[in-house]
Chains A and B, each alone.
Chain A
Amino acid sequence: DARVTQTPRHKVTEMGQEVTMRCQPILGHNTVFWYRQTMMQGLELLAYFRNRAPLDDSGMPKDRFSAEMPDATLATLKIQPSEPRDSAVYFCASVRGYGLGGGEQFFGPGTRLTVL
Chain B
Amino acid sequence: KQEVTQIPAALSVPEGENLVLNCSFTDSAIYNLQWFRQDPGKGLTSLLLIQSSQREQTSGRLNASLDKSSGRSTLYIAASQPGDSATYLCAVSTGANSKLTFGKGITLSVRP
Chain A interface (Cβ < 8 Å from any Cβ of B): 31, 33, 42-43, 45, 48, 50, 55-56, 91, 93, 95, 97, 100-110, 112
Contact = CB atoms under 8 A, between A and B. Distances in A.
Interface of A is mostly: strand
Nearest to A4: B43
The 8 closest A-B pairs by CB, nearest first: A101-B31, A102-B98, A107-B44, A43-B102, A109-B43, A104-B49, A107-B43, A42-B104
B93 interface: yes
B97 interface: yes
A95 B32 CA distance: 13
Nearest to B33: A101
Contacts, number: 65
A56 B99 contact: yes
B100 A106 contact: no
A107 to B, nearest CB: 4
Contacts of B43: 91, 107-110
B61 interface: no
Contact of A48 (B89, B97, B102, B103): B97
Nearest to A55: B97
Contact of B34 (A33, A48, A104): A104
Q: Counting chain A CB atoms within 10 Å of each CB, which of B31, B44, B95, B103 scores highest?
A: B44
A50 B31 CA distance: 17
A95 B102 contact: no
